[in-house]
Amino acid sequence: MVIETIWFFLWGLLWAIFFISDGFDLGIGSMIPFLGENEMEKRKMYNAIGPVWDGNEVWLITAGGVTFAAFPLVYGVMFSTMYSPLMIILFGLIFRGVSIEFRENSDSKAWRLGWDVCMCVGSFLPAFLFGVAFANIFQGIPFDNKGVFYGDLLTFINPYSLLGGILFVLLFLTHGAIWLAIKTDGTLQEKSINVATKIWPTLVTATLVFVAASRYATHLFDSYQRNPGFYIVLLLAVLSLLAVRYFVYQREFWNAWFSSAIAIFSCTFFGIIGLYPNMFPSSIDPAFNLTAHNSSSSPLTLTIMLVVVLIFIPIVIGYQIWIYNLFKDKIDETELIY
């Protein structure tokens, strides 16, 4: 049971790292047609994410791979019941990647505007649907003991899931605006600061409403009632959101970005902790819930995988730190790639 619990929280950690690392990419991509008033500003926005976006998506592949290898039953039921929203997310991410590469193939304004729209849609939809998907997981999916799904695409559209989607979008927009403030200067930087400042009150409100709604729409708080010490995650979320506003006001953008990262981490683990030991609960009958214990691979498999992860994950993290350090300077107009 210990090894299964370790993998459960590793699974949650990998999702949190993905949301932190790729969240600002999705946020910036969603803002490109609106925040970039001219070609130079748009190119700066593309170059703010250009060197790192594909590396950030490694964490999505890792999180999905861990689900498949460590919890194959969860993987199978999740991708069968949530096939439609997950495919929309996949196509959105494809459009985002293609937009970055294809936009510069022509100087036509219509061509570039078309890819800017694709970039916006391909960034916004995954951001929104990841929130919708996880909110639905938190409240339970209608499937039976054989993993048969009793619903359709509209099953995933409900007030609580829409609130989750809105929360994710606001988190990523704020995260992206702060990253732009780090990477740019002048007018674009000031507009980014303005976006982060104006979104912040709505983000705080959405966070509080989502947490309050979770009390009635889900069973997440059962874990917190059994272990009150877990409430520190909610406290961390509140403090980090307050720190975001303070550091943006002080124009300490790196501190603001790390505070935003902690906020995303805290919001993710609010749900992960609340779920445990469930990973994919059923809204039909709790007896059908897929947990870290009844859906995992064998202890031997989990042990071997843990050794592999402990070796290679630090290497991946070290490589990404090197990349971020290499491209840490502000964007130079004379060295634009995209």
Q: Give the number of other Cβ atoms within 10 Å of residue 191's Cβ.
A: 20
CB of 48 within 8 A of CB of 184? yes
CA distances, 295 to each of 137, 178, 301 (Å) = 16, 39, 13
Residue 49 identity = I
d(CA 287, CA 290): 9
CB of 119 within 8 A of CB of 101? no
d(CA 255, CA 48): 18
d(CA 118, CA 80): 27
- Residue linked to tokens 């909110």: 135
pLDDT tens, residue by residue, 132-183: 999 999 999 999 998 899 988 888 999 999 999 999 999 999 999 999 999 9
pLDDT, residue 100, reads 86
What six digits make up the tokens of 148? 């048969």
CB of 221 within 8 A of CB of 273? no
d(CA 305, CA 299): 10
Q: What is the DSSP letter of 293?
A: T
User: What would the 3-class secondary structure string for 67-107 be?
Assistant: HHHHCHHHHHHHHHHCHHHHHHHHHHHHHHHHHHHHHHHCC
Q: List, as one string, the DSSP characters of 93-162.
A: HHHHHHHHHHGGG---HHHHHHHHHHHHHHHHHHHHHHHHHHHHHHH-B-B-TT--B---GGGG-SHHHH
Torsion of the alpha carbons at 301, 307, 312 and 317, rounded to the nearest 10: 110
pLDDT tens, residue by residue, 280-334: 999 999 999 999 999 999 999 999 999 998 898 889 889 888 988 888 888 877 6
CB of 177 within 8 A of CB of 193? yes
pLDDT tens, residue by residue, 3-42: 999 999 999 999 999 999 999 999 999 999 899 888 898 9
pLDDT, residue 338, reads 67
**Terminal-to-terminal C-alpha distance of the chain:** 49
Helix axes 159-183, 39-49, angle to 10 degrees: 100
